[in-house]
Chain A
């Protein structure tokens, strides 16, 4: 059949040009060869779906490295890339076709087949380096070697290189093809014919080649006269037929019928294609899945440099080193060039290559130091180039919106890691931060937040690095919305409602929650009903983390939904530890809200409600705990305590007057619920203190008298509520020692108890009525977080000392591990001074310290200290 057509048009020629993918030498000679042949159609190995995209190459805005991206709409995880660098022969073919105005068609097997779920060689495709597998990069430079079924890993280049006595096929290619300056395509075809002799293509490879032949046939039938086919060298024999060139095209090849049979009934799927920017880093093999090109920067240089590649290369290497303030003179470069040359001669290579250049850089420019060599390697050998696609490229609206945002906010995507310090007080930086946080919510980690060096909350440090696969993530995320904020909002809503997988939580202290953390607990509150409903899948801590991230990302529209979900979840979650784990993040969020100018009123309500629930539920949560659970709870108590302190500092006014216009439905119902429930706590409590709590909470006025820092403001501060709750609980007899000790300490530190009261409590805890182990754990709880107290209060020290010395020898041994743990956590100087105090215990008079202070002389110092603390001296 094909013969018949050849007869019809005797001038028709088919030139099959075998290239090495991403080979600069191939690219250059291909360019010349195309100029010489002047084909009226160019066929290139690649997915035919991209035919319509070729026109875009006219646009100078389309800057390689770029890749053709094929993805299945609605199923963005099924995608494949075909990367092109400026030194890729395929790219040069595209350039030629566009400039000469001749049609260009891609002739490989359509991506529609490769990406179809039921592709008949699904297992093979994933491994096949040459096939567009799942997100796999196409076409390694040695990728042609891996062509065919994975079981039959044929390596034609390796075979040729071994025949030529090279151990490294790459270097053979470089020497024989890249460094020759001209590539005799006829010779390559013959060599490949020799290598492929006896090889029968089967499976995927056979289908690909059949499709290529079919495309050629179609072009022939359409009457094109000079057809140029650009394909991997490996395919040449299968496409060119008899190598002698005497017979017309098609001789010795399978018939069109056979090819059609082979291609019948392939699974198919709808595929969309577009151009996406690519990076050299991604082309390089050493950064994950690449195209197997280890030195794209070098290849780029080889292709771009008009002459004297080694000289130019070493000169730019010197430039790179100078930028880093390493002294490199022109004399260095001269010597480096000489060394590279003589090394090449020594190694018997026609021209110095990358290996020689690198040795010269190391021995001369870097004076043997490997660190700057790494720098050259990263900056030059791999290169930091990121491609660019024009606006007219098919894009999902989300990508387009992001491009506009990037332009507006002057944040350019770059391949190299770059540090950005944002000052959130500036509107531009604030918006940038918002954009980055939103992208993170969408799963596009363009920026990674760094721990900021400065303490201020208005500063944020980011590391930005654009990776090509973000385009895929954006396409995936475009299901949520057409703009970045809209998509992020929708995503957050779905996450809050438990419909979407939460993106991994970045907030550092979201806190451990989850049933596993409370192994030994018997708590009536766990397992109560209300776990059903929409929010059940999302844990409270996740939700609070989400709130924090919403604020960071400036998504006010999403916040109500999350807060709704949160308050619903908090109301239903009877487990106080969950609530306690959630509170710190919320408080942090509230603080951020202040810095960023987001209205935090709704949040304040939630925090307030959460704290009330915690205060109420604390009584039930602290009983009947074993050692591990008690310690676990203690961590939460400490976290909440710290958070509460923050709360008072930052938002006392807003907490005192919660705005009820916040879109939180259940918030309004809370106060009544609180008082009712706290009545329950009070009833459960054994001592008389809780009644005070009860009355105070119910009335809502400050009836507190013991606190020193009563500043006369109306309404109770969260801190006082929290302390009251602690006080209410701490008197109970069934507490774990560690918890009671800790509570006592917190109350003492807060000034809620004076030293005398604490001493009483301590002596009670230490008294013989308690088993020694409990007393020891009380001491542990009391002293955890620093032993300075013992240094400064001889009475407490005496109590501990008395108790310790009074222990029977065997009980002493029993409590020793606990004591060791407690005291071992103290800093060495603290331990030392405690020890010296103990030594002089009986000798020292308790009150000497206080009496010796000369008030008048101390006044100046007191003033200074108060100034440092930021307080004015009050009468």
Chain B
């Protein structure tokens, strides 16, 4: 085991990638490490040696891979916690074998992060030259023919976003200072992710929007699917964090997922009772972190078995984002829904104790 806290996808799944590359005899688009079929298999799993990375509709992954194969950029949209970043990382790892060419979009992201910056010491000493240039991840991806990832595209200021237009349409990055340009090698492409819950932060210009094929990642369709995702991820995380193995009952996972789903959709799973939705997103990713947290609690402070009391604090924390209104919502849910469920007694008590 390495000492890094979280290995890159291409390192963590190096074995699977190698297996796929060995058996892959289909046509690979120029610059791709694997054929599109193999990429799809890598992401969705084959039920045998390849573990599924993304659990969801097959068509979404197919559209995503086909988009990248047409040299169109890919925009992954979805509410927070729908595995946008996760999917983009694995796609980049499978296609270019490198998921590290990453630009994180924030309100403070500068144009240099998308284009290039200067090493000012060299610039002053030697004057403008290619050596004095510090390339951005996008520029490097272009030069090397790899996938660049742009996270939270809509959080970037609009003028920085628009720097991508030339890159995406002309596939070239001009450097006017040197009267040069970097032309993209084959295999270059961009995967961007954006959160459509706070759409309008810095909405994409239609010129940029037009360069992307858009894939909307849905929240898991069924409770079973979500339980599957959560338990799989909780297991993986526990292993990579080297948590002491705790006995994780599927029951507890199901319970957390049910609570999250019911609060998210505003109606109980049996469709009988309407409940209020809190202000938080309550995504699958949050359910995963609640459970990981619970397991850590159970392993270090408890008896090694995940118990309702271990997840209660996490759940309350995830649900109650706004201390006033969300607490009312949570209380109401607790008293009207959770209390009625006979086999949820211990869970109810644990949540009551949390407040």
Residues on A close to B: CB < 8 A?
Answer: 327, 329, 331-332, 335, 338-339, 342-343, 345-347, 355, 359, 362-364, 367-370
Complexed CA–CA distance, A416 and B17 (Å): 52
Q: Is B213 an interface residue (CB 8 A)?
A: yes
Chain B: CB-nearest residue to A359: B63
Known contacts A345-B36, A359-B62, A367-B212, then 20 further A-B pairs from the complex at CB < 8 Å, ordered by chain A residue: A327-B206, A338-B70, A338-B72, A339-B66, A342-B36, A343-B63, A346-B37, A346-B62, A346-B66, A347-B62, A355-B59, A363-B67, A363-B214, A367-B209, A367-B214, A368-B75, A368-B77, A368-B216, A369-B216, A370-B216
Known contacts A339-B213, A346-B37, A368-B214, A363 near B63 by CB under 8 Å: yes
Q: Is B257 an interface residue (CB 8 A)?
A: no
Contacts of A362 in B (CB 8 A): 63
Complexed CA–CA distance, A347 and B212 (Å): 21
Q: List 27 A-B contacts (CB under 8 A).
A: A329-B210, A331-B210, A332-B210, A335-B70, A335-B72, A335-B213, A338-B70, A338-B72, A339-B72, A342-B36, A342-B66, A343-B63, A343-B66, A346-B65, A346-B66, A346-B69, A347-B62, A359-B59, A359-B63, A362-B63, A363-B63, A363-B67, A363-B213, A367-B212, A367-B214, A368-B77, A368-B215
Complexed CA–CA distance, A355 and B37 (Å): 18
Cβ-Cβ contact count across A and B, 8 Å cutoff = 55
Q: Is B248 an interface residue (CB 8 A)?
A: no
Contacts of B65 in A (CB 8 A): 346
B242-258 CB contacts (< 8 Å) to partner A: none
- DSSP majority for the B interface? helix
B37 smallest CB distance to A (angstroms): 7
A358 smallest CB distance to B (angstroms): 9
B31-73 CB contacts (< 8 Å) to partner A: 36-37, 40, 59, 62-63, 65-67, 69-70, 72
Contacts of B36 in A (CB 8 A): 342, 345-346
Would you call B215 and A363 a contact (CB within 8 A)? yes
Contacts of A363 in B (CB 8 A): 63, 67, 213-215
Contacts of A370 in B (CB 8 A): 216
Complexed CA–CA distance, A38 and B245 (Å): 78
A637 smallest CB distance to B (angstroms): 37
B61-102 CB contacts (< 8 Å) to partner A: 62-63, 65-67, 69-70, 72, 75, 77
- DSSP majority for the A interface? helix
Complexed CA–CA distance, A338 and B66 (Å): 9
Complexed CA–CA distance, A447 and B2 (Å): 72
Complexed CA–CA distance, A576 and B65 (Å): 75
B218 smallest CB distance to A (angstroms): 10
Complexed CA–CA distance, A338 and B70 (Å): 7
Contacts of B63 in A (CB 8 A): 339, 343, 359, 362-363
Complexed CA–CA distance, A517 and B213 (Å): 62
B19 smallest CB distance to A (angstroms): 20
Complexed CA–CA distance, A649 and B65 (Å): 72
Contacts of B66 in A (CB 8 A): 339, 342-343, 345-346
Contacts of B70 in A (CB 8 A): 335, 338-339, 342
Contacts of B214 in A (CB 8 A): 363-364, 367-368
10 A-B pairs with the lowest CB-CB distances in the bound complex, closest first:
A368-B214, A343-B66, A342-B66, A368-B216, A363-B213, A367-B214, A338-B70, A342-B69, A346-B36, A342-B70
Chain A: CB-nearest residue to B64: A363
Chain B: CB-nearest residue to A328: B210
Chain B: CB-nearest residue to A329: B210
Would you call A343 and B206 a contact (CB within 8 A)? no
Chain B: CB-nearest residue to A368: B214
A362 smallest CB distance to B (angstroms): 8
Contacts of B213 in A (CB 8 A): 335, 339, 363-364
Chain B: CB-nearest residue to A366: B214
Complexed CA–CA distance, A327 and B209 (Å): 12
Contacts of B212 in A (CB 8 A): 367
A476 smallest CB distance to B (angstroms): 39
Q: Which of A329, A345, A363, A369 has the most CB of B within 10 A?
A: A363
Complexed CA–CA distance, A362 and B75 (Å): 13
Contacts of B62 in A (CB 8 A): 343, 346-347, 359
Chain A: CB-nearest residue to B35: A346
Complexed CA–CA distance, A368 and B75 (Å): 9
Contacts of B72 in A (CB 8 A): 335, 338-339
Contacts of A345 in B (CB 8 A): 36, 66
Indicate which residue in A327, A335, A346, A369 contacts B40 across the interface (CB closer than 8 Å): A346
Chain B: CB-nearest residue to A331: B210
Complexed CA–CA distance, A449 and B196 (Å): 39
Contacts of A359 in B (CB 8 A): 59, 62-63
Q: Which of A329, A331, A364 has the most CB of B within 10 A?
A: A364
B208-244 CB contacts (< 8 Å) to partner A: 209-210, 212-216
Contacts of A332 in B (CB 8 A): 210
Q: Which of B66, B206, B210 has the most CB of A within 10 A?
A: B66
Contacts of B67 in A (CB 8 A): 339, 342, 363
A78 smallest CB distance to B (angstroms): 39
Chain A: CB-nearest residue to B59: A359
Contacts of B77 in A (CB 8 A): 368
